[in-house]
Amino acid sequence: MLNLSLGGDIIKTFRTVSGYYINLKKNMENNNEIISDLKGLITIVNDGKEGYESASETTDNLELKAIFLKYAAERKAYELELKAHLASHGGESDNSEGGILGAIHRTWIDIKEALSSKEDQAILGAIETGEAAAVEKYDSILNDPRIHADHLDLLNRQRDGIQNALTEIKSLKATAN
């Protein structure tokens, strides 16, 4: 006589172990996506920091210089927050200078500024482009809030800070000579 209840227990155990494995695999995939997204944000935040520092060195306008340095410091704070959160997910980033696209963009700023008679307006236009790209990057990551549930407040706060900077830069650009 075959004990069917034992077979049922084995099947339940298999389903439990199998379900655990599937959940573990899914959690690992989500964590890898979180790590990748946070590294991408660190790169773009550092691109912004480097861009603001470059702009502050380029302009002779003391008001703009102060604004650029304020936003460079803000981006540095964002970088540190993102790196701390990245570490809590088991990731690390030694990026402190942004990515290759940011470097190319800063070189383009230098060239455009050198050719432009409206130096500050050209700098502000280039910063506007960079900040719009940063907001877009944050928005693309925030489109899937369940993956980033444990740090949504951080990402939303940083995104809003970048959006506020973008609004100020646009306003400064509109009034630049």
Q: What is the pTM of this model?
A: 0.76
Q: How far apart are CA 57 and CA 112, in angstroms?
A: 15
pLDDT at 176: 81
**pLDDT given at position 110:** 55
Kindly tell me if the per-residue pLDDT of 114 is higher than 90.
no
Q: Which amino acid would we find at residue 110? A: D
Q: Which of 147, 35, 140, 139 is nearest to 87 (CA)?
A: 35
Q: Tell me the backbone φ, ψ of residue 81, rounded to 5 degrees.
A: -65, -45
Output the pLDDT for position 1.
Answer: 47
Distance between CA atoms of residues 158 and 161, nearest Å: 5
> Tell me: the pLDDT tens digits for 9-43?
544 444 554 454 445 455 566 788 899 999 999 98
- The pLDDT-based confidence of 54 (bands split at 50, 70, 90) is confident
How high is the mean pLDDT of the chain? 79
29 compared with 63, residue with greater pLDDT: 63
pLDDT band at 66 (very low <50, low <70, confident <90, very high): very high
Percentage, residues of the chain above pLDDT 70 = 69
Cα(152)–Cα(155) distance, rounded to whole angstroms? 5
Domain ranges within the chain, ordered by starting residue = 30-175
Look at residue 14 in the predicted model and tell me its pLDDT. Answer: 46
Res. 115 pLDDT band, cuts 50 70 90: very low
Has residue 108 got a pLDDT over 80?
no
Q: Which fold has domain 30-175?
A: Ferritin (1.20.1260)
Which tokens go with 132?
């719009």
Q: Is 62:8 a contact under the CB 8 Å cutoff?
A: no
Burial of 69 (0-12, 13-18, 19+ CB in 10 A): middle
